[in-house]
Structure 1
Amino acid sequence: MKDRKLRDVLPDPDPEQTLEWQEAIRAVSDALGPERAHRLLLETIGAAQSEGIEIDVVNTPYLNTIHPSEEPTYPGNLDIEERIHGVITWNAMMMVTRANKANDGIGGHISTFASNSHLWEVGQNHYYRGKDLDGWGDHVYWQGHASPGIYSRAWLEGRLTRENIDNFRIECEGNGLSSYPHPRLMPEFWEYPSVSMGLGGMTAIHTARFNRYLANRGLADTSNSRVWYTMGDGESDEPESLSQLSLADREDLNNVIMVMNCNLQRLDGPVRGNSKIVQELEGRFRGSGWNVIKILWGTMWDDLFARDSDGNLANRLQELVDGDEQRIFTSDAATFRNELFNTPQLKAMVSHLSDEDLEALASNLGGHDMVKINAAYAAAEASDKPTVIIARTIKGYGLGPAFAGRNSTHGKKKADEASLKWMRDDLDLPFKDDELKEYPFVDPSTVPELVEYVKQRRGELGGFCPERRSPKSDITPPGEEGYATFDEGTKGEMQVSTTMAFVRLLRNLMKDKSVGNRIVPIVPDEARTFGMDPLFAEFGIYHPEGQLYTPVDHKMIMKYKESDKGQVLEEGISEAGALSTFIASATSYSTQGCPTVPFYIFYSMFGFQRVADLVWSAADQRARGFMIGATSGRTTLNGEGLQHQDGHSLLMAHTNPAVRAYDPAFAYELATIIRTGIDEMYGQEKDVMYYIAVYNENHPMPPKPKDVDEGIVKGIYKLRSSPKKKGPVVRLIGSGPIMLQLLAAVEILEKYGVNSEIWSATSYGELRRDGLECERENRLNPSKDRKIPFVEQMLGDGAHPTIAVSDNQIAVPDMVRQWVGGDFTVLGTDGFGRSDTRPSLRRFFEIDAQHITLAALSALVRSKEIDAKVYEKALSDLGIERERFDITAL
């Protein structure tokens, strides 16, 4: 298959002259080489452009790419498949209409599926591979708003019941269907969430890439898996949607096929009313190295193009902007005839066509012609490059004039009487006018020949699609030996950060015999910042072509080593791309039956704040893996300033129901959390993710105390108490590196006769989650003994004032306030970050040892356990001023 040129459509007025030019170029290439021929062509193009002749080097004419003579024979029964298409479309319309008649405002979308319907029906009958053939089948990302059509087909296949269909968007009671593709809600049906819009394109490409990673490293045979992604043309405006096109080209991902559903409409109106979205998309994909196949016109147009000897029709279609095209192609026959065929020559081309013929021609677009679609799919499968199929469709196709191509069609939730009659007649369905008032379904039992056909086709293709499977994990969690060294603490004067401790633990895991080859380190171009560069030479950086150059540091032990079997995924400066890789790895247990353990380590400020939508999508897809927020802390990352200093990712992480968020202070805490996470996700096979904040401040690591594992995992434990002396007592809770400030405050407090209990809070989020679960249990069982939250068991007695401090916003520790007994004071880093030294920043944000001391003394004054004079003396001794700039003020 070749790109279609004008000569394929229009007879050449002077073929001898054209042949002379072609033979001249061939002669130059043969005699002087292709480089010289290339230079001559460039110079010729330049000369033409200087004369005002427009030459588009990335766009082809506004015509089909594949010539009719190159189209393969259709592999199925077109008559039966059109009937199947009609039944599926009708039932999808009835499902959404009935849902909104029963519950006005429940929502749902009809027109999006109608524009995709033929594209997907050809795929379902002939291309989308199921999981019962060799390998794990194709990965199909559906355009999310079109879910009713997928449900309608699944009912025809016998996979859903009438009860399911009647409960579209009614999920709370069970047996309902989710609004969009949501694996979290329908874990045996949907595989890939594709709403919110824009995320699917990049995750699909990274899934295709990760399949190659699995194959190259010998972890899974993914050779029979292709990735199909359908995107609406309006969705392409989302910055993420097309951001990874060059990655697919660089890594030769011919296992990914994108289908652009170009109905020319977004939610409110035209995508490009004043230009042409098809041509724009072609330029973007072709410029990124993709194979581009356009299917714009159906079979009925072939005869007109064959007779377009002077190119008038091709030129007219090329000059028509999308706003006019949308209007003209959905107007009546007279408007279509007069405005599209607007010259005597063009009118003559269609003079033999009746108004009925012209109406059929207007709706016979490439994306609704199964023969054209099949030709495109077959060519895409044979391509050695990533391929995009740009299909011209009609939003609301086949739903009647009130839906087709209307700007308001996206929001239409109910079919009116006229539309029902139009559809019934168009599809030749046996419903009488009075029956239409009940919005009748075509029950699958009444069309057994269609049911038999779809089941036979899916059987030959390896099973139904979509279908999600989750086989038992074959990963054996590593034993204690890989973690034991972190329980011992550092020796002598050695100091390490929790980031350094993590990298050492990661290396241990990668060398572990039971799980090592399944560990997938993912980093967005900050590996050296995090001290991960020793992993480059030892385990290699993945690149499908290996290393075609000699790196500048090739003589060094820790050289930059790329390999087609490399284990480290160095993603470049692309947090969203890296997280898309994380999703591919974190879901490989279900997409390829090959569980892997991703460790995505990143600049914490550019985690949840930047790509929280992708993390939400990962949770929907039931991802399992670790997200490591490095260089955390608003004061610990001291020199980087406002845009980099993170004090709220832990708070944001807690908003995701599938994320367990931790803030360890010590290496043994970190090791315990990761050990627990691997066991929970890959031993117990729970669909959760772990977010762990790690920091870049070096300090001594103490040995692990006895019997603290439960508290570390649940979120808090008592580290120790200061030596027992007479005097008041305060409880001090620390997290992350601010634990060092807390320990320093303990010594200062002793000078003022105050004793301390020292607690380490590893996860306020987990403590809150447990607290809320207990509250619900108690609320619903008032006659039973009260269930006491873990944090209340630890801190609820109110025996002493409690001070909590961290390098995060006050709202993080404040999540557990209602379960902490007595006076509870929280110190944190609210406000914007700024550049300075750590001591200065901690004084500025009032979380240093001196402010912790003062907060403890203040609480003791209020509880009347010490005299206010002690506080005033400390205020003077510690050099703290009461009046200062409010860092939280706007």
Structure 2
Amino acid sequence: MTSMAPVQRLKLLRDLERKVLWLSAWTIHHANHVRPNRDGLKVGGHQASCASLATVMTALYFSVLRPEDRVAVKPHASPVFHAIQYLFGHQTQDKLEHFRSYGGAQSYPSRTKDVDDVDFSTGSVGLGVAMTLFSSIVQDYVRLKKLAPAERPTGRMVALVGDAELDEGNIFEALLEGWKHDVRNLWWVIDYNRQSLDGVVNDRLFGRIGEMFELVGWRVVTLKYGKLLETAFAQPDGEQLRQWIDDCPNSLYSALVFKGGAGWREALTRDLNQYPGIRRILEQHDDASLHRLMTNLAGNDMQAVLDAFEGVTDDTPTCFIAYTIKGQGLPFAGHKDNHSGLMTVEQMAGFKKGMGIADGQEWQKFAGLAAPVAELETFIRQAPFNAEGRRRTAAPAIAIPAALPRPNDRKASTQEGFGKILNAIAAEDSELGRRIVTTSPDVSVSTNLGAWINRRGLFGHTEAEDVFRELKVVSAQLWRKTPRGQHIELGIAENNLFIQLAALGLSHELFGTRLLPIGTLYDPFIARGLDALNYACYQDARFMVVATPSGVTLAPEGGAHQSIHTPLIGIGQPGLLSYEPAFVDELAVLMRFGLEHMQQPKGSSIYLRLSTRSLLQPERTLSPAQEADLIAGGYWYAPPEPGADVALVAMGAVTPEAIAAHASIVRDFAGAGLLVLSSPDRLHADWLAAQRERGRTAGTIDRGASPVERLLAPLSRDARLVTVLDGHPLALSWLGSVRGQRVVPLGIESFGQSGDIPDLYRAYRLDAAALVDAVARAIS
């Protein structure tokens, strides 16, 4: 920004602060009281939560931030963000007029649904905050490896945090991980307005927040009192006023904010009237100016905010605790019920008048402001954050070889195969090998990442040799930390894993560097990080999650470590394409496809559900057509004869039981087929898409048939399908709807238990005998 006198800059920023407050409040009011409401639902929009952050966000976006900085906006301050982007020219009036309606500005900032410059999607509170921390780790990862564009400066990862968001445990899990990884260039600005959704934030709890940040190496900057209050404190007996406010409970302070000047006067007279200096302060102020004084908290004082932000010039992670008023400047400021409150039509009319905005000028960018329009436009245009216009970066796709290395073990599990494929990639000096980065929540070795890590190393800011190696203690694992390392080891927190994968999977758009992230975890514990996984997919982050081992096949571990419903998660989670290969050659094909699919404009993340069960591998060389079938979702292991009345359908680790059962039933049902599925997710999605393209459900096969329709076409219309997987049977039960065929589904419907595979397969009816019995029942 060109040189400008501090006084003039402050004046312009205060004008823009007023405009941002107005636009955010009006956008919400318009959605609730002006725009036609066809379904009668309350639209909402959190006017009070917007008001508390108007000062902070105005200071950041119009003066402090730079193009390379990345920001996660508090979900309920979304209208403030949209207002700022509107002033920048990156948001349209039409989108604001349709806030929270179809095609309009989103309720919460969205990378994929909003047209303006959203860095991180937010909405599920706490996750966007943690995302900035893990993005800081990614920024250091690409910087230390010199993968980022040479001209790109290091940016600050900034989170605007609601104080009630700090109730979310994932934030503190992230803080611990950040401490372990020496996180840098990170700002969290806590909007301490002392109110949550249903009430007032607990005083005692929040009094410890600063200590918690300091404990993990953060600088804590507290913005408590504005310039008016600081001046009052300097007067005689001013320290008594400071002490009174310091001791004032959150609930009482919020109530007095709502009551206004008369309420403040009554309380201060009651408690501090014995001090002459306090009496003088009360005499010097009428009710309006007394209210302005007592609510002059630093987080709503532009000069105090600028002083705090501009006072931090190094890369130490910094927590700014900004004391604010929830609903500052609005009629219901401070009221404990104001979280989802809306101004009435009458209140908005008074607010609009106070803002100096005439009817018909509600959307005009500079209506009601004192500064000349040209001066404001120049100031906005020259804001450092806006200097480069749109800030989302891009990076070319990484070429994937025509085939990945395929282990040739006669007997192996898909989990073992995964480790060997990665190890073979690690042994080569290839661009693919350099761009893969792995991460895992303390289960790296048990998910077969050990060989990869031994070759590629652990990522760390500084060199740290493996102590066991230095002391010559024999160990199969080499845990050497280095800035060149390509594995980010995490603690046991699945939320952290998925948010780290989200940050890695957006590196091309955040930092201009393409990475190929692969994360491993135990399959049942996807559920522990499901909110974060959904968050990652919602942002269109691209990564490969390898979940292993799956199902009751992990027999001795018992029900606590056995997964049941994860195939349904794979089918139901948008932005995630799931596969469950039965054999290692299938895995190699699907890994190659996944690494390429992750990079496509219309691609997605990939979920591979693997097993520890060691299976006899088929002696075959997959043809291009067979590979295409695998990627499409399935293939006939034993093709049926035309018009066959029976088919087995299997997936994953229980495929050998299906093979054995098929050998038995063909003696009685000649021509019965065995269909092996690699992705019911892909088959189901393509089937629905084909129906939509045809505009109706078709029972005949035509040129528009989906892969699953073509697979089932050789069977008679009355054929029975017996399906089996080591997971919930619902994942395959839908196959009967494709052509109206009867399905007998086998799978896991209850918690598992400890045992060996033969016992558990027999108990849960996954064995060959159960399949043969199911065929008999199906035709009876």
Query: Normalised by the size of structure 1, how large is the TM-score?
Result: 0.80
Establish whether residue 183 from structure 1 lines up as the match of residue 111 from structure 2. Answer: yes
Establish whether residue 164 from structure 1 lines up as the match of residue 95 from structure 2. Answer: yes
Q: Which residue of 1 aligns with 2:449?
A: 532
8 A Cα contact 2:648 2:673, kept in partner: yes
Offset of 1:439 from its aligned partner? 8.2
8 A Cα contact 2:357 2:368, kept in partner: no
Q: 1:188 to 1:77 in 2, by over 3 A?
A: closer
Name the CA distance, whole Å, in 2 between partners of 1:786 and 1:855: 34
> Any idea what SS the aligned residue of 1:258 has?
strand
User: Which residue, out of 633, 644, 647, partners 2:564?
Assistant: 647
Name the CA distance, whole Å, in 1 between partners of 2:374 and 2:436: 44
Name the CA distance, whole Å, in 1 between partners of 2:8 and 2:424: 54
Offset of 1:782 from its aligned partner? 9.2
Please say which of residues 767-776 and 590-599 is displaced more in the overlay: 767-776
> Any idea what SS the aligned residue of 2:187 has?
strand
Name the CA distance, whole Å, in 2 between partners of 1:430 and 1:532: 62
Superposed, which structure 2 residues align to 1:498-517 within 5 Å?
498-510=414-426, 511=428, 513-517=430-434
Superposed, which structure 2 residues align to 1:266-285 within 5 Å?
266-272=196-202, 275-276=203-204, 278-285=206-213
Superposed, which structure 2 residues align to 1:203-282 within 5 Å?
203-220=131-148, 223-272=153-202, 275-276=203-204, 278-282=206-210
Establish whether residue 479 from structure 1 lines up as the match of residue 401 from structure 2. Answer: yes
Establish whether residue 319 from structure 1 lines up as the match of residue 242 from structure 2. Answer: no
Name the CA distance, whole Å, in 2 between partners of 1:477 and 1:825: 43
Q: Which residue of 2 aligns with 1:420?
A: 349
Name the CA distance, whole Å, in 1 between partners of 2:182 and 2:5: 29
Q: 1:465 to 1:782 in 2, by over 3 A?
A: farther
Question: Residue by residue, what CA displacement relative to the aligned partner does 1:348-402 show, whole Å, maximum 9, x if unpaired?
Answer: 35244212321110221110111111111122333x5211000111111112x3x
Q: 1:439 to 1:269 in 2, by over 3 A?
A: farther
Please say which of residues 577-586 and 700-709 is displaced more in the overlay: 700-709
Question: Residue by residue, what CA displacement relative to the aligned partner does 1:513-536 show, whole Å, maximum 9, x if unpaired?
Answer: 132111011111111212222223
8 A Cα contact 1:187 1:468, kept in partner: no
Name the CA distance, whole Å, in 2 between partners of 1:394 and 1:498: 56
Name the CA distance, whole Å, in 1 between partners of 2:184 and 2:59: 20
Q: 1:548 to 1:339 in 2, by over 3 A?
A: farther
Please say which of residues 303-312 and 151-160 is displaced more in the overlay: 303-312
Question: Residue by residue, what CA displacement relative to the aligned partner does 1:689-742 show, whole Å, maximum 9, x if unpaired?
Answer: 1111010011222224332122111111112359x9x99863222111100111
Aligned-partner residue type, residue 306 of structure 1: A
Q: Which residue of 1 aligns with 2:664?
A: 748
Please say which of residues 342-351 and 256-265 is displaced more in the overlay: 342-351
Aligned-partner residue type, residue 693 of structure 1: R
Name the CA distance, whole Å, in 2 between partners of 1:765 and 1:526: 26
Offset of 1:623 from its aligned partner? 0.7
User: Which residue, out of 587, 590, 599, partners 1:673?
Assistant: 590
Question: Residue by residue, what CA displacement relative to the aligned partner does 1:482-533 show, whole Å, maximum 9, x if unpaired?
Answer: 34x35xx53xxx3111011111222333435132111011111111212222
Aligned-partner residue type, residue 200 of structure 2: P
Please say which of residues 658-667 and 282-291 is displaced more in the overlay: 282-291
Q: 1:348 to 1:276 in 2, by over 3 A?
A: farther
> Any idea what SS the aligned residue of 1:231 has?
strand
Greater Rg over alpha carbons, structure: 1
> Any idea what SS the aligned residue of 2:598 has?
helix
Offset of 1:627 from its aligned partner? 0.9
Establish whether residue 370 from structure 1 lines up as the match of residue 292 from structure 2. Answer: no
Q: Which residue of 2 aligns with 1:24?
A: none
Offset of 1:444 from its aligned partner? 4.6
Q: Which residue of 1 aligns with 2:318?
A: 387
Q: 1:821 to 1:716 in 2, by over 3 A?
A: farther
8 A Cα contact 1:495 1:698, kept in partner: yes
8 A Cα contact 2:90 2:117, kept in partner: no
8 A Cα contact 2:163 2:190, kept in partner: yes
Aligned-partner residue type, residue 43 of structure 2: I
Name the CA distance, whole Å, in 1 between partners of 2:357 and 2:115: 36
Aligned-partner residue type, residue 191 of structure 1: D
Q: Which residue of 2 aligns with 1:35?
A: none
Offset of 1:595 from its aligned partner? 1.2
Superposed, which structure 2 residues align to 1:567-586 within 5 Å?
567-586=486-505
Q: Which residue of 1 aligns with 2:214?
A: 286
8 A Cα contact 2:225 2:296, kept in partner: yes
Establish whether residue 497 from structure 1 lines up as the match of residue 420 from structure 2. Answer: no
Q: Which residue of 1 aligns with 2:543?
A: 625
Aligned-partner residue type, residue 379 of structure 1: G
Instruction: Please give the root-mean-square deviation of Cα atoms over the aligned residues, in Å.
Output: 2.8
Q: Which residue of 2 aligns with 1:705?
A: 622
Q: 1:575 to 1:764 in 2, by over 3 A?
A: same
Name the CA distance, whole Å, in 1 between partners of 2:377 and 2:62: 7
Offset of 1:289 from its aligned partner? 2.4
User: Which residue, out of 80, 94, 98, partners 2:12?
Assistant: 80
Please say which of residues 560-569 and 704-713 is displaced more in the overlay: 704-713
Q: 1:248 to 1:534 in 2, by over 3 A?
A: same
8 A Cα contact 1:541 1:562, kept in partner: yes
Aligned-partner residue type, residue 695 of structure 1: S
Question: Residue by residue, what CA displacement relative to the aligned partner does 1:114-155 show, whole Å, maximum 9, x if unpaired?
Answer: 10010011111221111xxxxxx0011111111112222222
> Any idea what SS the aligned residue of 1:205 has?
helix
Offset of 1:686 from its aligned partner? 2.8
> Any idea what SS the aligned residue of 1:708 has?
helix
Q: 1:451 to 1:592 in 2, by over 3 A?
A: farther
Q: 1:378 to 1:351 in 2, by over 3 A?
A: same
Establish whether residue 398 from structure 1 lines up as the match of residue 398 from structure 2. Answer: no
User: Which residue, out of 616, 626, 635, partners 2:534?
Assistant: 616
Offset of 1:601 from its aligned partner? 0.8
Q: 1:859 to 1:455 in 2, by over 3 A?
A: farther
Name the CA distance, whole Å, in 1 between partners of 2:32 and 2:644: 65
Establish whether residue 854 from structure 1 lines up as the match of residue 766 from structure 2. Answer: no
Aligned-partner residue type, residue 661 of structure 2: A
Q: 1:777 to 1:689 in 2, by over 3 A?
A: same
Q: 1:467 to 1:843 in 2, by over 3 A?
A: farther
Establish whether residue 730 from structure 1 lines up as the match of residue 646 from structure 2. Answer: yes
Q: Which residue of 2 aligns with 1:193?
A: 121
Name the CA distance, whole Å, in 2 between partners of 1:470 and 1:188: 14
Name the CA distance, whole Å, in 1 between partners of 2:669 and 2:259: 88
Q: Which residue of 2 aligns with 1:870?
A: none
Question: Residue by residue, what CA displacement relative to the aligned partner does 1:625-672 show, whole Å, maximum 9, x if unpaired?
Answer: 111111112x21112222210021120122222111111101121122
> Any idea what SS the aligned residue of 2:492 has?
coil
8 A Cα contact 1:475 1:515, kept in partner: no
Q: 1:579 to 1:554 in 2, by over 3 A?
A: farther
Name the CA distance, whole Å, in 2 between partners of 1:502 and 1:75: 62
8 A Cα contact 2:361 2:367, kept in partner: no
Q: Which residue of 1 aligns with 2:728?
A: 809
Name the CA distance, whole Å, in 2 between partners of 1:586 and 1:394: 37
Name the CA distance, whole Å, in 1 between partners of 2:467 and 2:672: 58
User: Which residue, out of 320, 323, 336, partners 1:407?
Assistant: 336
User: Which residue, out of 93, 114, 121, partners 2:51?
Assistant: 114
Name the CA distance, whole Å, in 2 between partners of 1:194 and 1:465: 24
Q: Which residue of 2 aligns with 1:837?
A: 756
Please say which of residues 79-88 and 307-316 is displaced more in the overlay: 307-316
User: Which residue, out of 572, 585, 602, partners 1:686?
Assistant: 602
Please say which of residues 657-666 and 750-759 is displaced more in the overlay: 750-759
Offset of 1:797 from its aligned partner? 4.8
Gaps of 5+ in 2: none
Name the CA distance, whole Å, in 2 between partners of 1:759 and 1:831: 25
Question: Residue by residue, what CA displacement relative to the aligned partner does 1:674-700 show, whole Å, maximum 9, x if unpaired?
Answer: 222222222x33341111101001122
> Any idea what SS the aligned residue of 2:363 has?
coil
Q: Which residue of 2 aligns with 1:442?
A: 364
8 A Cα contact 1:661 1:690, kept in partner: yes
Name the CA distance, whole Å, in 1 between partners of 2:219 and 2:488: 26
Name the CA distance, whole Å, in 2 between partners of 1:430 and 1:186: 28
8 A Cα contact 2:357 2:367, kept in partner: no
Question: Residue by residue, what CA displacement relative to the aligned partner does 1:738-783 show, whole Å, maximum 9, x if unpaired?
Answer: 0011112223335657554222101111111111112222336999
